[in-house]
């Protein structure tokens, strides 16, 4: 992957895009696994007879209102290099989710204007993407795991789990990532090492023992490529929206590749075009990884985006 991510990053940075118009649509979508209506906004950038789209992942209606206001104040019309546009969005003080939305739409538009794809720019053939089914802390994680038979799993850890819970989850032989969300204590880590020494342990809260450190993955603190500095990792969860930039995410993957750190692509509850775009990215960078990109069913339909 070193050449793949590095080549893709360089090609994307130098890609030109012409933007003639900007539009945004917002909605509240019923998503059962979200715990209620999910606010969503999709920005459309038009130019040279094509439209590019980007999805905003803000969690609250207020974030989407602020994004729409910022979009009205931010004139991105003109011809840009993608790298220059990304730098300008950052210089103008847009928050990460806003920057990522506009940059993703610009890249989507640029790919169409140049009649190319992420895979073509990277010099590879995109492959089908492997995904994990993820779920948060639930009262009975063993029962929830059983609902998703046949799928690899990424599960949010409750440090209060007993040995029986850990043993039952280990017996499924399907949990590949335990997400600690910065939590944990000595007793919880001891149980984790006893029952899941080979799994990835994402965002464990310090202090953690050497066994957990050797299988540690990071997510929440990876906001720029330099976030990797001084880190010793078994894997890295790459999220363009958290970083505020697809270009930054690709550069982070390139830096990981230089250090032989596997990456996987994570979602942030995208329910529209954003999930397809993340699949495209994972299909180029890490198709066989435990990508946290499983389809999210919507309440009003059995279809998934």
For residue 40, pLDDT over 80 is answered with: yes
| SS3 per-residue string spanning the chain | CHHHHHHHHHHHHHCEEEECEEEEEEEEEEEHHHCEEEEEEEEEEEECCEEEEEEECCCCHHHHHHHHHHHHHCCCCEEEEHHHHHHHHHHCCCCHHHHHHHHHHHHHHHHHHCCCCHHHHHCCCCCCCCECEEECCCCCHHHHHHCCCCCCEEEECCCCCCHHHHHHHHHHCCEEEEECCCCCCHHHHHHHHHHCCCCEEECCCCCCCHHHHCCEEECCCCCCHHHHCCCCCCEEEECHHHHCCHHHHHHHHHHHHHCCCCEEEECCCCCCHHHHHHHHHHHHHCCCCCEECCCCCCCCCCCCC
Q: How confident is the model at residue 301 (pLDDT cuts 50, 70, 90)?
A: very low
Q: How confident is the model at residue 303 (pLDDT cuts 50, 70, 90)?
A: very low
For residue 128, pLDDT over 90 is answered with: yes
Q: How confident is the model at residue 35 (pLDDT cuts 50, 70, 90)?
A: confident
- The whole-number average pLDDT for the span 58-71 is 97
Predicted local distance difference test score (pLDDT) of residue 284: 98
Predicted local distance difference test score (pLDDT) of residue 184: 96
Predicted local distance difference test score (pLDDT) of residue 3: 85
- The whole-number average pLDDT for the span 279-293 is 98
For residue 191, pLDDT over 60 is answered with: yes
For residue 304, pLDDT over 60 is answered with: no
The reply to whether 2-122 and 133-285 are identical in fold is no
For residue 52, pLDDT over 50 is answered with: yes
Q: Structurally, what CATH architecture does the domain formed by 2-122 represent?
A: 2-Layer Sandwich (3.30)
Show me where the domains of the chain are located.
Answer: 2-122, 133-285
Predicted local distance difference test score (pLDDT) of residue 298: 86
Average per-residue pLDDT for the chain: 95
Predicted local distance difference test score (pLDDT) of residue 134: 96
| Per-residue pLDDT reduced to its tens digit, 228-279 | 999 999 999 999 999 999 999 999 999 999 999 999 999 999 999 999 999 9
Share above pLDDT 90 across residues of the chain, in percent, rounded to a whole number: 94
Give the predicted TM-score (pTM) of the model: 0.95
Please tell me the CATH code under which domain 133-285 is placed: 3.20.20.120
């Amino acid at each position: 992957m070193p050449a793949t991510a590095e080549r893709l990053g360089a090609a994307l940075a130098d890609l030109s895009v012409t933007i003639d118009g900007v539009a945004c649509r917002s909605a509240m979508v019923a998503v059962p696994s979200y715990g209620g209506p999910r606010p969503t906004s999709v920005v459309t950038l038009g130019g040279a007879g094509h439209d590019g789209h980007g999805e905003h992942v803000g969690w609250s209606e207020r974030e989407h209102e602020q994004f729409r206001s910022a979009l009205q104040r931010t004139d991105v019309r003109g011809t840009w290099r993608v790298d220059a546009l990304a730098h300008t969005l950052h210089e103008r003080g847009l928050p990460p989710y806003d920057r990522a939305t506009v940059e993703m739409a610009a890249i989507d538009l640029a790919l169409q204007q140049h009649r190319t794809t992420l895979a073509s720019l990277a010099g590879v053939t995109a492959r089908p993407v492997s995904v994990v089914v993820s779920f948060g802390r639930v009262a009975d994680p063993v029962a929830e795991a059983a609902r998703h038979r046949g799928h690899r799993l990424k599960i949010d850890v409750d440090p209060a789990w007993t040995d029986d819970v850990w043993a039952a989850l280990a017996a499924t032989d399907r949990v590949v990532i335990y997400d600690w969300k910065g939590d944990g204590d000595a007793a919880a880590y001891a149980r984790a090492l006893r029952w899941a020494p080979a799994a990835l342990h994402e965002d464990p809260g310090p202090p953690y023992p050497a066994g957990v450190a050797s299988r540690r993955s990071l997510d929440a603190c990876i906001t720029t490529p330099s976030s990797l500095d001084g880190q010793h990792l078994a894997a890295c969860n790459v999220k363009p929206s958290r970083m505020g930039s697809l270009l930054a995410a690709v550069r982070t993957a390139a830096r990981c590749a230089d250090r032989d750190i596997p990456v996987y692509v994570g979602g942030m509850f995208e329910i529209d075009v954003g999930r397809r775009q993340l699949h495209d990215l994972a299909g180029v960078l890490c198709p066989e990884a435990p990508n946290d990109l499983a389809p999210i069913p919507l309440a009003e339909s059995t279809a998934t985006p």
